[in-house]
Every structure is written in C-alpha cells, then in structure tokens.
Amino acid sequence: MDLHVHGPGPTVPFLRARDLFETGHDLDRPVHVYVRDSPDERTWTAHPDGKHVLNISRQAATSAMARELALHEFAHMARHEHAHPSHTQSTEEVLFLALSGKSVERRRVTHCYQIANHMKDIYADDITLRVGPTDKLVAFLESELAAAVADNPAREQDGLRITSTADPEMTAVNAAFALALVERHDLVAEDHRLYDLAHAAANDAPGVDLAAFKRQFESLGPDPDESEYRRRLADAVREYAVDSGQQAAD
C-alpha cells in the first residue's frame, strides 16, 4: 500500500492504520492523506485520477481516534476499488426510484443520504473490525449517541420535546445503525449503555421504527449484487422518508 501524508500533522496514526489494514487487505492505488486546518467535515475521501485522497482535519488527525478514522477510510477505499455496490450505487438514482411521485420534506431527503452513508459504513466496518481493535469504536458510538440524545433536553409536561438541535428522528436511525454494527460483530453485551441510549432515542422519535432500521442495517448480506443492494437501499429510504414521515405527521 503506497501511502503519502501531506500537511501539518502527525504521520504515525496513518502509518499504524496502514500496518493494521495490510494484515488482511491491500490497495492497488496510492493513497494521499491531506491534513487540513479546517475542512468542512471530519474526514472525506475522493478517488481522482487513479489514486485515493483522504482529507482530514488537523483536530481529527491528532485525536485519539486518528488511527481508527484512517483505518475506516482505507476500508472505504478498498470497497471502492472492488466496485462493491454499496460504494458504486448512485444515491440520487435510488432516491428518484424510491420517492418518485411522493411528497417528502427536504430535511427527510437530506437524511436519506445519511442512511446511504450508514449502509456504506456497515460494509467498510466489516473490513475494519476484522483487522483493527473494537474498543475505541464502541466508545465512539456511545459518545456520539449520548451527545445527540442529550442535545434535545427541553420537554413539555406531556413529554414532547420543545427545543431541538439534533434531529430526534435521525438520532433514532443513528442509534439503529450503532446497535446493528455492534450486534453484527458481537461487540457488546446486552446490558451495554448503548441499548439504554437507543431506547431514549426511540422514545424521542415515536414515528421511527428503530427495530426495523436495526434489522435493515444488520441483515445486509456480505456480497449483494447491484440489484439487491439497490432494492435494500430503496426500502430503507421509503421506510424513513415515506412511512416514518406519515407516522410523524399523524
């Protein structure tokens, strides 16, 4: 694996991530890592001109999760090189097929991209969790979900939220993803705090069937063909944008 690190930041996390990745996988194309002062996102990747590019903020590159973030992105690169349907299927095409003729809120359409990203992450983490440690990932999922649940603190007396920064419905889907990932790889016990947090997230979004989304994510087959993957993503999109939207409106 040909790795190049550019910009003001450490190289060690990326080299260690490469070493872990190479215990089970390899990349044909060179990888260029660019440490940025303030990118729009924590990490993002591209695949231009026969190479892979990983952009990462300096804050993320110097964090305790730097190695794990890099390893996760290397796994996405591997899925891209192998033309896995999760990484070649156009999300826009699926949205058009799944939502044609439907009236859907703009925010729900935006959230569908996050659902597509979760499905990509399932397949990337099928790689990372075979070659890398799991403890930091579980702690990260727990921390992110706890922060999102706590980001909806104000309630009326009848129990409804009256202020909200994190979207409760998307938080419930994120909770379903977290549970699906840890159960898919048998990472936690049944009494882990993730389950309490997911229960709280589900209570805040009664229109979202958390259990159904968990099944959607957890049951993704390891090697779907393009048609099967397109159908699974379209089902998840309709479940969230159409079915959950109708329940929330009711």
- 165 in Cβ contact with 151 (< 8 Å): yes
Does residue 157 register a pLDDT over 50? no
Percentage of residues in the chain with pLDDT exceeding 90?
81
The mean pLDDT value for 47-71 works out to: 93
pLDDT computed for residue 160 by the predictor: 45
The string of DSSP letters for the chain reads --EEEESSS-SHHHHHHHHHHTTT---SS-EEEEEESS-SSSEEEE--TTSEEEEEEHHHHTSTTHHHHHHHHHHHHHHHHTT-HHHHS-HHHHHHHHHTT----HHHHHHHHHHHHHHHHHHHHHHHHHHS-SHHHHHHHHHHHHHHHHT---B-TTS-BS--SS-HHHHHHHHHHHHHHHHHTT-S-TT-HHHHHHHHHHHH-TTS-HHHHHHHHHT--SS--HHHHHHHHHHHHHIIIIIIHHHHH-
Domain map of the chain by residue range?
3-66, 85-249
- 122 in Cβ contact with 174 (< 8 Å): no
- 125 in Cβ contact with 181 (< 8 Å): yes
pLDDT computed for residue 97 by the predictor: 93
d(CA 148, CA 233): 24
Q: Which residues pair with 55 in a beta bridge?
A: 34, 44
Convert the pLDDT of each residue in 85-128 to its tens digit.
999 999 999 999 999 998 889 999 999 999 999 999 999 999 99
- 49 in Cβ contact with 28 (< 8 Å): no
List b or e across 95-131, with b for residues whose CB sees 16 or more CB atoms inside 10 angstroms.
beebbeeeebeeebeebbeebbebbbbbbbbbbbbeb
pLDDT computed for residue 199 by the predictor: 96
Residue 54, both tokens: 């990983």
Percentage of residues in the chain with pLDDT exceeding 70?
90
Convert the pLDDT of each residue in 215-227 to its tens digit.
999 999 999 999 9
Does residue 39 register a pLDDT over 80? no
d(CA 205, CA 124): 28
The mean pLDDT value for 157-178 works out to: 73
Return the amino acid letter for 51: K
**Sheet arrangement for strand 43-46:** 3-6, 31-36, 52-57, 43-46
The mean pLDDT value for 223-240 works out to: 96
